[in-house]
Chain A
Amino acid sequence: MAYKFTLRGKTYSFKDLKTVLAKATPERSGDALAGIAAEDNKERIAAQYCLSEIPLKAFLDDLLIPYEKDEVTRLIIDDHDTEAFKPISSLTVAEFRDYLLSYEVDGKTLKGLAPGLIPEMVAAVSKIMRNQDLISIASKIEVVTKFRNTIGLKGHFSVRLQPNNPSDDPKGIAASIIDGLMYGCGDAVIGINPATDNPQEVSKLLKQLDDFRQQYEIPTQNCILSHLTTTFEIIDKAPVDLIFQSIGGTEKTNSSFGIDLKLLQEAYEAGKELGRGTIGNQMMYFETGQGSSLSADAHHGVDQQTLEARAYAVARKFDPFLVNTVVGFIGPEYLYDGKQIIRAALEDHFCGKLLGLPMGCDVCYTNHAEADQDDMDSLLTLLGVAGCNYIMGVPGADDIMLNYQSTSFHDAMYLRKVLNKRPAPEFEEWLLKMGIFDDQGNRKELKEQMLKLK
């Protein structure tokens, strides 16, 4: 179905819904690379007006990627909760934005609404929002998850300790873990991206992390971010806490990652049976990022931000403990500079939270993108205000294995300080017990003899 909008005497027409969405998207290099972006600023604002008048219902009827062709579309449509959708079923995209911002709509309302929303509606409304709207609405939503501790509570802010090492060297990894714990990081997860995805190596790393956790009674969870099939292979033999996988918003993207919904379901069920969590059993950990579908030539002419939101439909099917948008990792051909990275991260965090996910963000950039530490400081602060569940903690912000810059342990200290946020409650108690933090959340002066982690 074609869509039209007349702006200052000129009529813009868009051949279908996905074209309206793509042209209404704030500027980014990935959509230009795909050849679907607005021609100029005038066409973009015309598309945004056009989009704002579209009823939310339209996204349930006019499917961007055909039901028969894509299992992610089938998941979205089949799992849609019409009862939860009812209260907003007569709204347009513009009205939906105003509704979300209104005083009447609080976190509880939004939580009830989540099953009635599909990714396309959420992506649509985000495209006519400013950064402050994305922050304002997301900050209403609290998504709490549990495994060995509690992540996502208001007033708390967690960190994945990411002690990656280019040769998976156990001593190098241990050194980074100690450094991170001493700066109060690691409550979301201690998670390593392995240099080589092989079952024996992954098992060894898991054993190392698990021994360490038990020795110091750290209330957290571990993860080696190996491919799902590798984790699956060792799940009966190695201490697997969280099950990790990268996911995307189309069947073909997931296929390029070597997975499908059936495989995710099998892994999810196997993980449930392990029951290694102490206060909860949410154990899936997903990573996503705008541009992955285009990168795999699996985008069906849909813009990268809408596809990213569709990946969240895949994530929410499996009740995850953590979801992480790795926003600036993919490179300048998808998000060119600091401005585009910041916008995309706020969109992803907003869309994920509105769909009910425990969103974290890898605030990051690669060296070939036009971005630097100042951009990351800005994004980190904005996400903290938006209520982001967690960020990465990488020694000195420099990942020596994946060759990109993320956020550091010091960045986490900064954010908790300026926004008065605390680590996960169970983890904070441990930090106090170990004499690492004082009750103000400041790091204590650590004399050699106080260093209990040796």
Chain B
Amino acid sequence: MMAKEISKSNYLQIDPWENLRSLSKARIALGNSGGSLPTREVLSFQEDHAFTKDAIYSDLKEKELLKHLQDFKLPVYQFQTKVSDRKEYLKRPDLGKKLAETSESENGDFDILFILTDGLAADAINERAIPLLKEILPKLNDYKIGLCLVKFGRVAIGDEIAEKLNAKFTAVFIGERPGLSSPKSMGIYTTYEPRSETTDERRNCISNIHENGMSIEKAADLLQYFIKESFRRKISGVKLKASLPNQIDRK
């Protein structure tokens, strides 16, 4: 007996709400075969994973960033952590929170330090940190400000830097862990009166600053709000709620 040729439409279910895809970057309306993913979706996911895995190993463009930081005509500092390479960075977060022994101190008596560090996606900092500084710095004329660049840093590196330079407030710009659809996302962590023993509940966070998430302008507005409120109420963290209206981008 001759086998009958199977037509694709017999077994692959299409999701008739495909029009909803325009509303979100989420992987919706993928269709299915027997409840499982269609082949094209399996391969497309693995493609994104391959690119993201490789993106984690991107490097901070130190020379270029330093040059841009100097253009702001503010004091600029460069620091090193105790981490020596990317693999060690991934396995030893404790070393990414500590400055190398050779780091110098200086009583800068700063109000605010903006600290740029690669985190888990150097390209997020390479691409978004300077535009954000350009947006926010002109709005902060009443504060004494310093700028820092540190390779292989974690969020808490800001605390030790603040102690070294004597600063009241830090905003750490850091590459967030890459997602499949957002391999270059930046986060900002703000801390009022940062000290070595500071824990995370004392920080405010602005996350998902990337092309499909929060815009540079909105992130700058929110950052300005945290700065203003932290100095006014002398706190940061969970006790300081963001109550800025329309702080989030709408599509």
Chain B: minimal CB distance from A256 (Å): 4
Among B65-73, B90-98, B141-149, the one that faces the other chain is B90-98
A404–B179 CB distance below 8 A: yes
Residues facing B in A137-186 (CB within 8 A) are 163, 165-169, 171-176, 178-179, 182-183
CA distance A98 to B145 in the complex (A): 64
B28–A175 CB distance below 8 A: yes
Chain B residues bordering chain A, tally (CB within 8 A): 64
Chain B: minimal CB distance from A419 (Å): 13
A297–B199 CB distance below 8 A: yes
Residues facing A in B123-163 (CB within 8 A) are none
A367–B13 CB distance below 8 A: no
Residues facing A in B210-249 (CB within 8 A) are 210, 212-214, 222, 237-238, 241-245, 247-249
Closest to A168 in B: B248
Q: Find chain A residues with CB under 8 A from B177 CB.
A: 331, 366-368, 403-404
Chain A: minimal CB distance from B200 (Å): 6
Among A74-82, A84-92, A190-198, A346-354, the one that faces the other chain is A190-198
Q: Per-position contact with B for A219-232: 1 when CB-CB < 8 Å, else 0?
A: 00000000101100
CA distance A20 to B26 in the complex (A): 46
Q: Find chain B residues with CB under 8 A from A398 CB.
A: 26-27, 45, 48, 179-181
Q: Find chain B residues with CB under 8 A from A238 CB.
A: none
B28–A296 CB distance below 8 A: no
Q: Find chain A residues with CB under 8 A from B249 CB.
A: 167, 169
Q: Per-position contact with A for B182-208: 1 when CB-CB < 8 Å, else 0?
A: 100100000000000001110000111
Q: Find chain A residues with CB under 8 A from B28 CB.
A: 175-176, 178-179, 395-396
Closest to A172 in B: B24
B251 at the interface (CB under 8 A from A): yes
With A195-B207, A397-B45, A404-B179 known as contacts, the answer to whether A167 contacts B248 (CB < 8 A) is yes
Closest to B55 in A: A367
Chain A: minimal CB distance from B42 (Å): 8
**Cβ 8 A contact of A256, one of B27, B200, B241:** B200
**Cβ 8 A contact of B241, one of A199, A395, A399:** A199
A373–B251 CB distance below 8 A: no
Residues facing A in B11-68 (CB within 8 A) are 13, 15-17, 20-21, 23-30, 32, 34-37, 41, 45-46, 48-49, 52-53, 56
CA distance A141 to B201 in the complex (A): 36
CA distance A413 to B34 in the complex (A): 9
Chain B: minimal CB distance from A216 (Å): 14
B113 at the interface (CB under 8 A from A): no
Chain A: minimal CB distance from B172 (Å): 16
With A400-B181, A413-B32 known as contacts, the answer to whether A333 contacts B91 (CB < 8 A) is yes
Among A58-66, A105-113, A127-135, A439-447, the one that faces the other chain is A439-447
**Cβ 8 A contact of A198, one of B17, B27, B201, B243:** B243
B16–A367 CB distance below 8 A: no
Q: Find chain A residues with CB under 8 A from B245 CB.
A: 200
**Cβ 8 A contact of B243, one of A169, A173, A175, A199:** A199
B174 at the interface (CB under 8 A from A): no
A407 at the interface (CB under 8 A from B): no
Main secondary structure of the interface of B (DSSP, over half): loop
A403–B178 CB distance below 8 A: yes
CA distance A166 to B184 in the complex (A): 13
Chain A: minimal CB distance from B126 (Å): 18
Chain A: minimal CB distance from B240 (Å): 10
With A179-B15, A398-B181, A403-B176 known as contacts, the answer to whether A255 contacts B32 (CB < 8 A) is no
Residues facing B in A20-46 (CB within 8 A) are 29, 33
Q: Find chain B residues with CB under 8 A from A332 CB.
A: 90-91
With A167-B213, A169-B24, A410-B36 known as contacts, the answer to whether A368 contacts B15 (CB < 8 A) is no
Q: Per-position contact with B for A404-443: 1 when CB-CB < 8 Å, else 0?
A: 1100101001100100000000000000000000000011
Chain A: minimal CB distance from B210 (Å): 8
**Cβ 8 A contact of B201, one of A174, A257, A395, A448:** A257
B250 at the interface (CB under 8 A from A): yes
CA distance A199 to B59 in the complex (A): 38
A236 at the interface (CB under 8 A from B): no
B122 at the interface (CB under 8 A from A): no
Closest to A399 in B: B179
With A367-B56, A368-B56, A410-B37 known as contacts, the answer to whether A172 contacts B248 (CB < 8 A) is no
A-B contact pairs, 20 of them (CB 8 A): A165-B26, A166-B182, A167-B250, A169-B23, A178-B17, A179-B17, A179-B20, A182-B17, A198-B242, A199-B241, A201-B248, A227-B238, A331-B93, A331-B177, A366-B177, A367-B52, A372-B49, A373-B49, A396-B26, A405-B180
A-B contacts besides A403-B177, A417-B35, 10 pairs, CB < 8 Å: A167-B251, A168-B248, A169-B249, A198-B244, A201-B247, A201-B248, A295-B93, A405-B180, A413-B32, A446-B15
**Which chain A residues have a beta carbon within 8 Å of chain B's beta carbons?**
29, 33, 163, 165-169, 171-176, 178-179, 182-183, 195-201, 227, 229-230, 233, 255-258, 295-297, 331-333, 336, 366-368, 372-373, 395-405, 408, 410, 413-414, 417, 442-443, 445-448, 451
**Which chain B residues have a beta carbon within 8 Å of chain A's beta carbons?**
13, 15-17, 20-21, 23-30, 32, 34-37, 41, 45-46, 48-49, 52-53, 56, 90-94, 120, 176-182, 185, 199-201, 206-208, 210, 212-214, 222, 237-238, 241-245, 247-251
